[in-house]
Amino acid sequence: MNRKQFFLSIILASIIGGLIAVAGVGLLSPSEKVTTFEQKQNTSFVNWLKDDKFNVPDGINFVASADQVLPAVVHIKSKVTMQRRGRSGNPLEEFFEFRYPDGGQQPPREGMSSGSGVIISDDGYIVTNNHVIDDAKEIQITLYDNTNYDAKVIGTDPTTDLALLKIDASDLPFVPFGDSDKTKVGEWVLAVGNPFDLTSTVTAGIISAKARNIGILRNENNNLQIESFLQTDAVVNRGNSGGALVNLAGELVGINTAIASQTGAFSGYAFAVPSAIVKKVMDDLLKYGTVQRGLLGIQIQDVSVAKQYLDLDTKANQGVYVDQVNEDSGAEEAGLQKGDIIIEVDGVETTNVSKLQEMVARKRPGDRVALKYLRDGKAQETTATLKNISGTTKVVKKAELKATEFESVTFKDLEVSLQEHLEIEGGAVINEIDNDKWEEAGAREGFVITHVGRDRVSGADDLKNKLQRNKGEEVMILGFYPNGQKSYFEIKLDN
């Protein structure tokens, strides 16, 4: 090849490469609605380390992965309501567990909580733990370069302790999703977050175990919680919650969520929500605003536990024992029966309840799962169609919360998750106050009103109707602060 041919070949290659790039962008044009984070990540031409030929450098060099991930992990500060200590002098208040704002128990004060988050798209979507932003009035995001943004909550899922936030920014670095299924016990990982407000901290460890259930979500949302954590010995402390657990290719394999500790500080093991669950939950929150939870409709326990208490006649030591099959459920339609032992879901060995929950949690209502199970010691197979909590295969829509105004105070219906958290039905939350009289009486933004006098409040409209019927009267408003503290105040309504 002569010199002229050489330069012509370079020019031709450049033209062809440009055409391919343009065609690739065209395939994902703005007119095509993006509904998954895989699509959002694929539309951004960023230089990450995802390469089938990627090899861990000699001596285990963590520098490349840390450099890739650090700019995409953010510091989250949330303004929350904190309960004051002290006792009221009124024995009736103590007995009924309600506190009068002007008595010995003052209304909760405002405080700040701190955690971490991971940017998962260049247009400002951030994943974190639900407990990092739970009950927050304001959420502030600080990027790696110390730029600050206010964030809004796109959606939350207490059953997996995950939340999706959004900031108004563009061209941001982000962490691509990795495949948590491919992680192996003994594999090196990095934890990146903001422990003790020490921003942009990187620690290293290995995957210590998979599909761990540690019982931290057991009382949330009617036992629909999903705990199938990756366990790691990478150092994680308070403030790491919501931060990234990544492999040495700089890919997100988990969201750091909890530690095993009797002191509140790291004692050797930490736990992360696997990326397979994170990605599915984030896609649901992006597309639907709420998580689409597919259910088999069975009550289960580890077969090893069942053998201890039920005197089972089985040689199986691993698997998931079916203790009950709900009527009209996908499991019943698939032919599952009490006493069956599920050993595989979609071809993946299922040794315990955590693994089964993880596999099913990746699905939506209407999806089908292949099940392999033991009945009377013989292996059988079936396919079940998952249903939602209402027993149908329809997409669950995010409830639109009604808002109304009375005396320049805005009230909103209460989200179902907060109703469940407070163990109440109905209620209305004070969303905004522009009335000094109400504030002086003890009303606070975020206060959940459950009763006007003896009358229970079913929602925002019902609250407004009750207040209008009592115009010119002094009424007692009873309810909860978001942290669960009961309280009340008295207010003289205008005519």
Any known ligand binding at 329?
no
User: Nearest to residue 468, comparing CAs of 402, 411, 400?
Assistant: 411
- What pLDDT does 315 receive? 85
Residue 211, both tokens: 């599909």
Q: Both 185 and 145 in a single domain?
A: no
CATH of the domain at 444: 2.30.42.10
Judging by beta carbons within 10 Å of its beta carbon (0-12, 13-18, 19+), is residue 429 exposed, middle or buried?
Answer: buried
Q: Is 130 helix (H, G, I), strand (E, B) or coil?
A: helix
- What pLDDT does 13 receive? 56
Active site residue 131: yes
On whether residue 21 sits in a domain, the answer given is: no
Q: Contact 252/278 with Cβ under 8 angstroms?
A: yes
Given the residues 78, 121, 131, 329, the one annotated as active site: 131
CA–chain centroid gap for 85, Å, is 30
Q: Both 317 and 376 in a single domain?
A: yes
- What pLDDT does 12 receive? 58
- What pLDDT does 303 receive? 92
- What pLDDT does 481 receive? 83
Average pLDDT over residues 352-366: 94
- What pLDDT does 425 receive? 85
Active site residue 421: no
Domain that holds residue 332: 298-385
On whether residue 35 sits in a domain, the answer given is: no
SS3 content of the chain, % helix, strand, coil (to 5): 25, 30, 45
User: Nearest to residue 183, comparing CAs of 272, 268, 120?
Assistant: 272
Active site residue 161: yes
- What pLDDT does 220 receive? 45
- Write the DSSP symbol of residue 97: T
- What pLDDT does 223 receive? 59
CA angle 245, 248, 253 (to 5 degrees): 35
Q: Contact 193/201 with Cβ under 8 angstroms?
A: yes
Q: What is the chain's mean pLDDT, rounded?
A: 84
Q: Contact 224/294 with Cβ under 8 angstroms?
A: no
Q: Is the model more confident about 135 or about 361?
A: 361
Count Cβ atoms below 10 Å from residue 413 Cβ, excluding itself.
23
Residue for token pair 């650090």: 70
On whether residue 330 sits in a domain, the answer given is: yes
Residue 237, both tokens: 């402390």
On whether residue 124 sits in a domain, the answer given is: yes
CATH of the domain at 189: 2.40.10.10
Average pLDDT over residues 146-168: 95
CA angle 303, 309, 314 (to 5 degrees): 45
Average pLDDT over residues 460-481: 91
pLDDT-derived band at 56 (thresholds 50, 70, 90) equals: low
Q: Is the model more confident about 436 or about 24?
A: 436
How confident is the model over 237-280, as pLDDT tens digits?
989 999 999 999 999 999 999 887 777 777 788 999 999 999 99
For residue 164, the surrounding DSSP H or E stretch is: strand 162-166
Residue 195, both tokens: 């422990």
Q: Contact 144/126 with Cβ under 8 angstroms?
A: no
Any known ligand binding at 145?
no
Judging by beta carbons within 10 Å of its beta carbon (0-12, 13-18, 19+), is residue 218 exposed, middle or buried?
Answer: exposed
Residue 309: phi and psi, rounded to 5, are -110, -20
Residue 51, both tokens: 């390469």
Percent of the chain with pLDDT over 90: 57
Choice among 90-104, 124-138, 335-349 with the minimum mean pLDDT: 90-104
Any known ligand binding at 75?
no
- What pLDDT does 107 receive? 56
| Residue 6 clears pLDDT 80, i.e. is over it | no
Any known ligand binding at 131?
yes
Given the residues 113, 208, 228, 241, the one annotated as active site: 241
Average pLDDT over residues 454-472: 92
Q: Contact 260/268 with Cβ under 8 angstroms?
A: yes
| Residue 33 clears pLDDT 80, i.e. is over it | no
Given the residues 161, 302, 413, 462, the one annotated as active site: 161
Q: Both 71 and 132 in a single domain?
A: yes
Q: Both 418 and 379 in a single domain?
A: no
The count of domains in the chain is: 4
Q: Both 338 and 427 in a single domain?
A: no
- What pLDDT does 68 receive? 94
| Residue 375 clears pLDDT 50, i.e. is over it | yes
On whether residue 379 sits in a domain, the answer given is: yes
On whether residue 175 sits in a domain, the answer given is: no
Q: Is 63 helix (H, G, I), strand (E, B) or coil?
A: helix
- What pLDDT does 186 receive? 95
238/117 Cα distance (integer angstroms): 13
Any known ligand binding at 421?
no
- What pLDDT does 338 receive? 94
pTM: 0.76
